[in-house]
Structure 1
Amino acid sequence: MSYIKLESISKSFKDDKVIQGLNAEINKGEFFVIFGPSGSGKTVLLRLLSGILLPDSGEIKMENAVINDLHPEERDVSMAFQNFALYPHMKAYENIASPLKANNISQDEIDSKVKEIANLLKIDHVLNQYPKELSNGQKQRTSLARSLVNRPSVVLLDDPLRNVDAKIRFEMRLELPKVLKEFNTTVIYISQDYREAMALADRIAVLYDGKFNDIDLPKNIYEKPSSLTTAKLFGDPTINNFNAVISKNENRVIAECNGEKIILQRKTSIENGECIVGIRPEDINLSNQQTEESLKVEFRTKTPLNLRIVFLVKLSNGLELLCSMSEEEAKNIKEKEQLYVSFKEDKCLFFDAITKRNLE
């Protein structure tokens, strides 16, 4: 049963329609990541959930009760901000304790709860320091501790790892889900980093054009995106895509693109005709060995990306493709000799040529 429901939520600022008829159901204890490009309305949506902003229309429900008219402090919702938002004149201890003091809790209980969450987040050694004396990683943990110390039902996290260095970001991606599960808290987490979204989320909601276009498991969104737009948001380098006329032949699809016939080992129920074919760089085999279904390509360039090597190659019709492989695999590629590409079985996607929606 869903714990939070968003029903036809809309929010505009003058003529700017930021959120338009948005719907979602979020489960109790779920780590729900809202992912989308910059300016897609992620922070606005978080502020609607927290009560800082009110929707123009639609209903926000918690346990089937409409909470639109409840003030932020009445919602049992806590929020941690991207820029930490710590009180500069208060030590870390006092920052973390501030929500508890607002609820008139005894000093002994405050002390116990602050120390518990500080130990959990490994900041017990900085409780007597002011924000200006903390590293960005310590500031973020202090901000997170403040949002969790009251054990709220829902925690809203606005891209909390964006302003910390890569090492801290990696550590927090590992630690954060464990910490939050101990609190049995429902987490709604904002990110514009697809890797972070996939690493943290139980489910991802992909926000653009004012609504959630996909809500699914991370693996499903990567492998079966609802549209070419979503497919392009996930993956680095981005998905290869090109217009083609496809025709099915038993367990194969032949995609004709500007005179080049590309053979794809793929079963599909879509009709023959024009569409957009999408193939991720890691699903293209690049080799010096020719096979029955491979195509000649011209080497253009290559570049390292994380622990992989990305090759840019060109077909005889001028179509350029990105191919990605491990560093070990790349050692076997002789760039000055003839190269060929083929395509991994059942890995390509087909999108409508006009709407860009996934045809399957």
Structure 2
Amino acid sequence: MTIELKNIRKAFKTNTVIEDLSLSVAKGETLVLFGPSGAGKTVLLRLIAGVIEPDAGEIRVNGQNMAGVEPEDRGIGMAFQNFALFPHMDAFANIAAPLTARGQSKGAMTETVEKVARLLKIDHVLHHKPKELSNGQKQRTALARALSAQPSVLLLDDPLRNVDAKLRFEMRLELPRLLKDQNATVIYVTQDYKEAMALGHRIAVMNGHGIQQVGTPADIYHAPANVDIARLFGDPVINLLDIVPERRDGRVVAMISDRAIPLADDYAPQIGQPCILGLRPEALRFVADGTPGAIPVEVEAETPLNEKTVTLVLTLRGREIMVSRPAGTPGPASGQAHVAVDAGAAILFDRATGRRIAPVHKMMRQEDVA
């Protein structure tokens, strides 16, 4: 089923949570709602589910207007953060509740419940009541209940939030397969950018009463719509440096540690304009002195982080830059060093508005398509 939201508005007294929000989700798509706490992600799910009604706008599921349609008649599966488990029923009965309501046979019901419980690693607690379960087990029981009904639309509100790190990592690998098998249209809420990148066909970044950007994980990471979104994705966080692009020897450049760092010629309109240069830590690498374009820096600290090593360096003017390299690869731990920049990975933002500046040739392509 498809989901379409048009000009949705929702306020609670004087607090406007969502303003003029529009969004479409294709049949079978997993769309991740990502953003900081208070951005309105859970409110948006509750609006789609019919738990609360919008103040304005239209919600359509498979083309049908949901105005006045009760939650139980929308054909939507939900797993919210508050679990909402029946306290007098064990985990098996909670998971089986939608199947019981449907009148499914005991054999088929048992097979379905045990299968989804195994996938979510709660098959060993099926006969425990909610008070005997950890928060992580409760959350996975609520998720299993939503999945067991095999709904056409599935709303998942941060279902791995209370799960320990190891299981959360495993679930990032398992859930995409599970959701694909369900063939459902899924809206998945999370505040974990790695989870968003791993699970979403597309990501909708919510902040400031609405959606700031919708795109594939690659789009969001490599072409964030603004500085705020750039900061939300990546660990360590993106390097952001105030610059004013110049033209030297016929090239568009940014000056860092008195060295000219080449930028794409498509940024020529920004020459002389105050900008912010965004550089992902992995777009920087340590090189030998004398390497063309090498930037002199002072190494301040080095932090091994399992699969990578992160180094904090200072430019000649004391600006901090993070450099990330795969664990085990050589790099200086202290003293003077030099780094090179992958100019093709540079992202430019307008310093006044924080918005990403699209290179001229990309803007022309978009206009040609339009």
Is TM-score (shorter-chain normalized) higher than 0.5?
A: yes
Q: Quote the residue 1:320 is aligned against.
A: 320
Point out the more displaced range, 170-179 or 243-252: 243-252
Q: Quote the residue 1:51 is aligned against.
A: 50
Give structure 2 stretches of 5+ with no counterpart.
Answer: 359-370
Q: Quote the residue 2:296 is aligned against.
A: 296
Q: Quote the residue 1:266 is aligned against.
A: 264
**Are residues 251 and 118 of structure 1, via their aligned partners in 2, closer, same or farther at CA, if it must alter by over 3 Å?**
farther
Residues 283-338 of structure 1, C-alpha deviations (whole Å, 9 max, x = no match): 11223533231222122222233422221111112222111112222x332523x2
Q: How many residues align?
A: 356
- Find the aligned partners of 1:105 and 1:327 in 2 and give their Cα distance: 52
**Are residues 79 and 251 of structure 1, via their aligned partners in 2, closer, same or farther at CA, if it must alter by over 3 Å?**
farther
- Find the aligned partners of 1:169 and 1:138 in 2 and give their Cα distance: 12
**Are residues 11 and 299 of structure 1, via their aligned partners in 2, closer, same or farther at CA, if it must alter by over 3 Å?**
same
Q: Quote the residue 1:287 is aligned against.
A: 287
Counterpart AA for 1:190 = V
Counterpart AA for 1:347 = A
- Find the aligned partners of 1:115 and 1:300 in 2 and give their Cα distance: 53
| SS of residue paired to 1:341 | strand
Q: Quote the residue 2:16 is aligned against.
A: 17
- Find the aligned partners of 1:49 and 1:256 in 2 and give their Cα distance: 49
- Find the aligned partners of 1:60 and 1:203 in 2 and give their Cα distance: 20
| SS of residue paired to 2:183 | coil
Identity of aligned residues (%): 47
Point out the more displaced range, 5-14 or 265-274: 265-274
| SS of residue paired to 2:143 | helix
Residues 214-273 of structure 1, C-alpha deviations (whole Å, 9 max, x = no match): 11110111011111111111011111112211024588431146x844413534245123
TM-score with structure 2 setting the length: 0.89
Bigger share in helix: 2
Counterpart AA for 1:297 = V
Counterpart AA for 1:29 = G
**Are residues 282 and 115 of structure 1, via their aligned partners in 2, closer, same or farther at CA, if it must alter by over 3 Å?**
closer
Residues 19-73 of structure 1, C-alpha deviations (whole Å, 9 max, x = no match): 1111111011111100001111111111111111111111111122111321111
Point out the more displaced range, 260-269 or 217-226: 260-269
- Find the aligned partners of 1:190 and 1:232 in 2 and give their Cα distance: 19
- Find the aligned partners of 2:179 and 2:333 in 1 and give their Cα distance: 49
Q: Quote the residue 2:178 is aligned against.
A: 179
TM-score with structure 1 setting the length: 0.91
Give structure 1 stretches of 5+ with no counterpart.
Answer: none
Q: Quote the residue 1:170 is aligned against.
A: 169
**Are residues 163 and 121 of structure 1, via their aligned partners in 2, closer, same or farther at CA, if it must alter by over 3 Å?**
closer
Residues 94-120 of structure 1, C-alpha deviations (whole Å, 9 max, x = no match): 101222334455656544543454455
Pick from 339, 351, 354 the counterpart of residue 352 of structure 2. Answer: 354
Matches within 5 A, 1:124-203: 124-203=123-202
